Amino acid sequence: MRDIVIIGGGPGGYVAAIRGAQLGARVCLIEMDRVGGTCLNWGCIPTKALYKHAEILRTLDKSNTYGIHVEAYAMDVQQVQERKQTIVDKLVGGVQQLLKSNHVEVIKGKGIMKDAHHVIVEKEDGTIEEIEGKHLIIATGSLPDTLPLEGIDEEGVWNTNDILAFEEVPEKLAIIGGGVVGMEFASIFNGFGSDVSVLEYLPQILNQVDSAISKRFKSMAKKSGIAITTQAEVKKIVKTTDGLDIHYRCKGKEHILSADKVLVAAGRRANLAGLELDGLGIAYTKKGIQVNENYETSVKGIYAIGDVNGKSMLAHVASHQGVHVVEHIMGMAHKEEKVVPSCIFVFPEIAYAGITEDEAKEQDIPVRVGKFMFSANGKAMTLGKDEGFVKLIAHEETHDVLGMHILGPHASDLIHEGVLAIQNGLKIEDMIETIHAHPTLAEAIHEAALDVLDLGIHSLPKKK
């Protein structure tokens, strides 16, 4: 009998497997496709590979500003796809080696739970194997969601998996959905040279982001050539001789948007298919499997981590939950997580952690806010990436750091200073008293901290 049996080898499942093995557990990992899951094979990694190509093209477009004159250049889509796949394959191979080195038993096949201690594995060759375990962890991840739209199945209508396999850059790309995924692909294909249009149902794009950042980024995206329409209710998609027409309603009027390809970026949904949850009595909703504070389901001994429980569809959250569960199973105490960083790979990057200024107002939390523009940061200017700002939120009385929000270069790398501060209950004074190297982008964080207390050195005094 195995100590832990895990269904799904994504960033939740494989991390849980390795951590369990480190603690001396006998672990079996069941994966029907490739280890690494959506993140490594069809999500985070391949999209960031494409993001880099788009970034290079954007730099080449502005090469004259650096005194570098490039006569001509073109993008080889096949080579782009090959590089993307090489990166994915190398990382998948690395995960496979880690599992092997940690003596994790890996079985390729579809895992179906029989009861709280048995999983039936349907293998590729048609054979069936029954695996017994003391504890089961469901880590089946998520799938691209869809919309109940007429024409959603027309040729040329992509989901987020389809678009990664593009064979040529569409001249006109329409994206339904202005959330994280929609805006990331909008930025990438805008960089590739597509005429990109985004239709968003809500009043603003990136609805979960601090409103000041969302509004500023929307303006920057439009300036770069991305057309954005909010409060757009898509009615149907119609195939035409020239491509696809999206029929939508906005502010009481009917409109048609024509495109060569349409990306439906409707988010993701928990992958509950084939788990036999009803038969086992495992409680779930449309959002995902219901779990308690230790990610245990309504059936004792069965846990659910990552996207499948619907709490947060982020790879690093899945990994964290996986570690939490196996440490709980092995009798270790685990600190409650307080803050989760989120990163959006657009141009420029967006990253945030903690509460927004709007949330503070809604919760009647008195706060002080500090901001610093990258346009006044020396390193950002030398990089030619001086758009955006750092925004810090602290409690008005205690000066505890409550939130950090960044729109600007390398935001995804800079956010962790804020995560560390919020997670450990640090105060704005702690950030101010920390020496930040010069010239670095991180100095913008230091200046934002100073601004919280009206002590900014490299910004104009606030008007009283």
Residue 178 marked ligand-binding:
yes
Residue 313 marked ligand-binding:
yes
Residue 314 marked ligand-binding:
yes
Residue 181 marked ligand-binding:
yes
Residue 285 marked ligand-binding:
no
Which of 52, 39, 46, 54 has the alpha carbon at shortest distance from 169?
Answer: 54
Residue 351 marked ligand-binding:
no
Residue 279 marked ligand-binding:
no
Task: State how far the Cα of 462 lies from the Cα of 464, in Å rounded to an integer.
Answer: 6
Task: State how far the Cα of 160 lies from the Cα of 135, in Å rounded to an integer.
Answer: 33
CA angle 405, 287, 418 (to 5 degrees): 15
Residue 180 marked ligand-binding:
yes
> Could you list the active site residues?
438
Residue 223: alpha-carbon gap to chain centroid: 24
Residue 140 marked ligand-binding:
yes
Sign for the CA dihedral angle at 19, 352, 94, 166 comes to positive
Task: State how far the Cα of 280 lies from the Cα of 158, in Å rounded to an integer.
Answer: 35
Percentages (nearest 5) of helix, strand, coil residues in the chain = 35, 25, 40
Task: State how far the Cα of 441 lies from the Cα of 460, in Å rounded to an integer.
Answer: 19
Assign 234 to helix, strand or coil: strand
Residue 416 marked ligand-binding:
no
Residue 179 marked ligand-binding:
yes
Which of the 8 DSSP states describes residue 23?
Answer: T
Residue 243 marked ligand-binding:
no
Residue 357 marked ligand-binding:
no
Which of the 8 DSSP states describes residue 294?
Answer: T
Residue 129 marked ligand-binding:
no
Residue 230 marked ligand-binding:
no
Q: How far apart are the first and last CA of the chain?
A: 70
Residue 106 marked ligand-binding:
no
Task: State how far the Cα of 227 lies from the Cα of 182, in Å rounded to an integer.
Answer: 13
Residue 141 marked ligand-binding:
yes
Burial class (CB in 10 A: 0-12, 13-18, 19+), 307: buried
Task: State how far the Cα of 107 lies from the Cα of 120, in Å rounded to an integer.
Answer: 11
Which residues sit in the known binding site?
48, 111, 140-142, 177-184, 200, 267, 307, 313-316
Which residues sit in the known binding site for FAD?
48, 111, 140-142, 307, 313-316
Which residues sit in the known binding site for NAD(+)?
177-184, 200, 267
